[in-house]
Each structure stands twice: as C-alpha cells, then as structure tokens.
Structure 1
Amino acid sequence: MSQTSDIIIIGGGIAGIGAGARIAADAKVTVLESEEAIGYHATGRSAAIYIRNYGNDTLRALNAASEPVFREPEGISEESVLSPRGLLYVATEEHIGALDKILQGATGMESLSPDEAITRVPILKRESVAAAAIEEGAQDIDVDRLLQGFAKMLRHRGGSIVNKAPVSAISRAKGTWTLETPQGSFSAPVIVNAAGAWADEIARLAGVQPLGLTPMRRSAVILPAPDGHDVTGWPLFGCAGEGWYAKPDAGKLMVSPADEDPSEPFDAWPDDMVLAEGLHRFEQAVTVPVTRIERSWAGLRSFFPDRTPAVGFAPDAEGFFWLAGQGGYGVQTSPALSALAADLCAGRTSALPQTVVQALAPNRLIKS
C-alpha cells in the first residue's frame, strides 16, 4: 500500500527542501531523496555566495527577492545566513567587453582602478589587470545552516524526508501519481520535480515531455594560502571572462576553472586536464605559483537553453510541477523560488512581478 501525501517532491537539494518547507504550510508534503543525506549533489558543492548581479534579468530579480530572507531568515535560522565577502572582477584587455556587460544594469557595483584591485587582492599581477569592478554587497552564504533550517521547518510543519529513495517508476491513475522507490510506494495528486541534473529523466519516467536540461560540470580545488598572505578578508575574485575564480575558504583558497562541460547526470568528479588548464589560467593572473592541491571536487550545474529555471505546472501533464534548471544560482535563488513554488501549488498569486513568473513558466520550453 502506498504512503499518501498531498504533494511529493523529488529531490532533496536546496530547491526541493526549500519548496517543501514552504509548501508544508498548506499541504502534507513528502520529499524523496535518492542519496543517504539531503544536499549531497549540487547544493553541497556550491561556492556558496550571494551575488546580487549574477545571471540574467530574471535571475537578478530572484536574487533581489531572496536577499531579505537571507538577512532575516524567520523560521529558518535565528540570525542572518550571510557574512561579508565582496566580489572583485578583474579583466585583461581581452575581457574589458565582458566586464562592461557585467556592469550593464548592475546594482551596487563600482569600477576600480587596477591599483585599487591589487590593494584588495595583493597577489594579482599588475599586467593582468586592465580594468576591475567590485560588488561590495556580495556575501558568503551558510548553505548548511540554510538547508538544515529549511529541513527543520518542513518537519515542524508535518512534512517528511525519505532518504535512499531513488524513484524507479512513475505512473498516474485516477488523478493520482504513484512513485516506486526502494523505500516503498508513494502517492499524491501532485509531484514536484526538483531532481536537479536528473529532472529531465524524472519527466521521462512520468511520461512528461523533457524541457532540454543540460547538466554541466563545474570543478574546484583547495589550495594553501599564498605564503605571507592572510586571505581571510579578501573578496571572491575572478576573471570577467569567466576563465577562473578564487574564493577564501577557511584560511585557504578555493579556485575553480569556471568550467561548464556538458555531462550526463552522475555523481560528478573533476577532470585532471580541465583542472590543469584552469589552474594555468589562474597562475597567469597572479604572482604566486600553484604548488600543491589539497583537495578537488566537482558538481553539476544544470541549465535550460535560455539559462533560466523552469518553475510551474507542466502544460502537458496534470499535477506535474517543474522546479529545475537553477544552474549556478540554486542556493541564492532558493528563498524566492521556494515561495513561488508554494504560491503556485496553492493557487495563490505570487509576490514576484508577473513578468518574472512568466519568464520562469515551463511552457516556454515545450517544443511544438
């Protein structure tokens, strides 16, 4: 006999857990997570920073809507999940156009001279900085506190999380979806597809048209702090042309090649050649060599063709709700998207501008 709920959410990353926490105020919610713990894939491998001016116009609107929740996360945490960091973009002559594009329509960003940029990050090579800009308001996000806070809210509202429950089959009869997992069968009239890199696979299992999701691998390493430097107060800094970025991390430096290699959905690991090429680009921009890698990892950031998430009911399947394609923006848009998912599932009008809600609608991606 199936365990029954009002809404089943597939995926225990920040999207699924956040949506579950909000939806549970109105409905009985069950979250199915394929791994042993929530947040195992993209959420647990995030660079974990709030950047107001990151992404296209729709994503920037979601970033802005999420910030108040990060600062005053009522019901999630007793204090802000943000802490000061800042974001410094540097550009060679080749990438000045890319920097100009970032600055277009940006809020709270200012240009810096090359010398001012080097004052912020002393290891930058003077000849590698033709122009620079800083977003002082960029903040580190305590992702684990945010995720666990959402999970606590979900459970407090009567929802449940079932781990080690990968979905192997989905069927629908008489207005009810039934999902088969190693933990048993689960039934509900509505399912929320928050399966990250596996979202199109879940759609296929349900007989729903996939939306063209492409998982892309993003790699990172931890390097020792450069000799003689305390990196604690440095901003996240990176190439405006997206060839690399670096972020202080517990007294060390996390460096990423900013790779976006299309991939099948899987438990990602880094490619040594990709890391080597990315670290070479980083070395060309700084005065210190890379002598030792302490740790490396990779995750999948999943995008639709227009690099905008899909949030809303599928036009071709009753009771099938998309919450996918967050790309590299999933953590920092989670407050806004979880509230939107709850509103749409409950039939309420969202507080977000309707232009934003329409830009997220899954029907824009359905092929005729």
Structure 2
Amino acid sequence: MRRVDVAIVGAGMAGASLAAELARHASVVLIEAEERPGYHATGRSAAFWSETYGGPGVQPLTTASRDLLAAPPAEFADAGFLRMRGALHLASGGGEAALDALARAFAGKGVALRPVEGGEVAALLPGLRGAGWRGLLEPSTADIDVAALHHAYLRMARRGGVTLLCAAPLRSALREGARWRIAAGAAAIEADVLVNAAGAWADAVAAMAGAAPLGIRAYRRTVAQLRTDPPAPADLPLVMDAAGRFYFKAEAGGRAWLSPHDETPSEPCDAAPDEIDVATAIDRFRGVVDWRVEAVERRWAGLRSFAPDRLPVYGFDVAMPGFFWFAGQGGFGIQTAPAAARIGAALLSGTAPHASVEEIDPKAYAPSRLHA
C-alpha cells in the first residue's frame, strides 16, 4: 500500500502541472491510465495562446499564465514556450455582429484588439477571396510548445518527489474515514485527498468515487494538416472566424493546420476524426482563401471537456470530503495551465496563492456553483 497526501487522477497537462506545483507542500502520486502521459487532449492540442480564447471568464487565467510561458525560471526550463504569431479574427457579411461582440466582450480588460479592414486584412492574409472583410488583430497571440511545457511540468514533479504511475487505470476509489483507498492498475494507494484531473473522464471518475457528477461533457475537435499551393506563409497569423466556423495557422514546411471549430458531443474515448468534419473544414477554408489544397497529409481529433457554464472547475466537492475537482478546462487548458496549477495548489495546501494569481478569485471556478 502506497501512502501519500494527495493522489491525482490524470497526468495530462492539468494533472502534471498541479502535481508539480503541489509537490513542495505534499507527497503526491500521479495516476495515468495510458502507457504515457498526455496521450489524449494534451497531445492533440492546436497549441496556441490567445487571451480571447475561452471568453472573458477564462481570460484572467490566460493572462496570468503568460509570464511563466514566455520567460520561465531557469530551474523550470532553459527557454520560453511561446513563439509570437498574432491572431486575426475575421468576418464578412453576417459574421460582423460576432466580431463586434468580441470587441465588446474584452473592452476594458487589457487585451489588445485592433480593428483592421480592407487592404490591411488582405495584406495579413494573402489570397483572401472577395471583398468586404473586416477583422480584429490580436497581436499578443502566440504558439505554445505543448510537449516541452508538459515535459517541464513532469520533470518538476519528479524533482519534487512525485511518483508517476502509467498504465494504471483507476479501478476503484473508496472513502474510508479520513482517507481514500484507491486501486489503480496493479497499485494500491492510500491518500488524504483524491484529485480529479481526468479531463473527458472527470464525471466518470467522480461517479466511481461516490461524488455527484457536475455535468462535464466531452466534445470532439478535429484538426487536419494540409499541403497547399501556395504554401502557408511562415508569418501568417492564426486566422479565426469570428463566428466560430473555422481556424487555421501555418506550420513547419509551409503546411497549414485547419479546424472546422467543431464541437461534436462524444463519450470519453480515444477520439478519431470524422471525414465529414475534415471536408467541412476544407470547404470553409476554400471560401476564405484561394489556396489550392494539394493534400490532406494528416488528420486527428481530440476531446475537449466543458462544465455546463463553460468555465473550469477547481476546488473541493461540496458533499464528498477529500474529493477535489480540477477539470472542465475545455480547449484552453494548455494556455491556462500555469495559473490553474497555482490556484489549485493553493486551494489544496491552504497556502497563499502565487503572486501571479493572487488577484484571481477562485470562487468563480468553484464546483459549488454547479451544485447550486
């Protein structure tokens, strides 16, 4: 029987970052069902950091994460995880109302958004079809090196004494007195606190532990890698449809990563792309630029999990003692990982929050809001 203060279920970005931050305060075991951590949502991220992504309720977490992502301390990583790209929120015709709504939603929040139109839009996006396009330029948007960030958190956790158990699916979790008795793969674990960082499986883990599910649902998101003529320019901003119908960005070798911005309800699973979603994405892409799609070189899908109000869930369950939620992080879990982990570690350890998140009220993300 392995005895620890905290057992975390899920070693993707959420669980790994929380384990790393918590290790200085507690003994931790990190439980992962797959052969390697980050197999599902973390390993299939579209890999960008945008202050507007996820909406105004998520933006404080994203903004508070920027410093660590851009200039991490030397003991965490020897280089930053961001590469500046900028984003172009694009609209024409009926989509202009969504563009205006985006500008209003972030007015006064310190997020740089600059209106662009006409020739400036065409200069930012070569090959743009037609006229009448408007946009909002978000210059702070950047690419994230997701794999490097995840590995840095796993290294930090390991240095802090965290034990990582892979190929150890949760088989049972029973609260006995003041402790949890947990079976994960072949391991038997006893812990004071059980943390649910299981992503798309969060409600299933809660049910297994005897806690009431919060209605966290999984949705499939599809991405395809295209070879185009002309090749995607290296300095192309992330292009996001203001009405939420697509986004695309340039990748190495002139390739383009394209998504139809789909959100198809799914059971928790090893998600696979649907050919209809890929075809839909390409059709929408062709309506924006006159680039010829020469080949779909790769396609994949991942699951994004959301609470009913689309905000993440951090905090102790209101009815099940010692059960801590760290889930519902949607498609913004990578870009908010530093802030989320620091908030979660403070709540779990009862210590003062890191300076980067001390002005963020964690009650906004507490599970009690969903029980109510």
| Short-chain TM bin | over 0.9
Moved more, 350-359 or 172-181: 350-359
Identical-pair percentage = 37
1:236 matched to 2:223: no
Q: Which letter maps to 1:244?
A: F
TM-superposed deviation, 1:299 = 0.2
Structure 2 equivalent of residue 154 of structure 1: 157
Match of 2:295 among 292, 295, 306: 292
Moved more, 144-153 or 281-290: 281-290
Match of 1:190 among 177, 190, 193: 193
Q: Which letter maps to 1:273?
A: I
Contact 1:111 1:132 in 2 (8 A): yes
Contact 1:86 1:236 in 2 (8 A): yes
Structure 1 equivalent of residue 344 of structure 2: 341
CA distance in 2, matches of 1:332, 1:3: 33
SS of 2:244's equivalent in the other structure is coil
**Map 1:1-368 → 2, pairs under 5 A:** 2-74=1-73, 75-104=75-104, 105-106=106-107, 107-127=111-131, 129-227=132-230, 229=231, 231-251=233-253, 252-350=255-353, 351=355, 352=357, 356-366=361-371
Contact 1:164 1:183 in 2 (8 A): no
Moved more, 66-75 or 343-352: 343-352
Contact 1:115 1:126 in 2 (8 A): no
Q: Which letter maps to 2:329?
A: Q
Moved more, 175-184 or 324-333: 175-184
Give the TM-score of the pair, scaled to structure 2.
Answer: 0.95
What is the count of residue pairs matched by the alignment? 364
CA distance in 2, matches of 1:258, 1:56: 15
Q: Which letter maps to 2:78?
A: E
Structure 1's 24 and 353: CA in aligned 2 closer, same or farther, altered over 3 A?
Answer: closer
CA distance in 1, matches of 2:217, 2:341: 22
TM-superposed deviation, 1:355 = 6.2
Deviations 1:47-71 (A, max 9, x none): 1111012223221010111111112
CA distance in 1, matches of 2:167, 2:89: 41
CA distance in 1, matches of 2:293, 2:184: 45
Over aligned residue pairs, what C-alpha RMSD do you find?
A: 1.4
CA distance in 2, matches of 1:272, 1:217: 13
CA distance in 1, matches of 2:237, 2:102: 17
CA distance in 1, matches of 2:360, 2:369: 13
Deviations 1:186-206 (A, max 9, x none): 110101100000000000000
TM-superposed deviation, 1:324 = 0.2
Ranges in structure 2 where 5+ consecutive residues have no aligned partner: none
CA distance in 1, matches of 2:71, 2:9: 28
TM-superposed deviation, 1:92 = 1.4
TM-superposed deviation, 1:123 = 2.2
Ranges in structure 1 where 5+ consecutive residues have no aligned partner: none
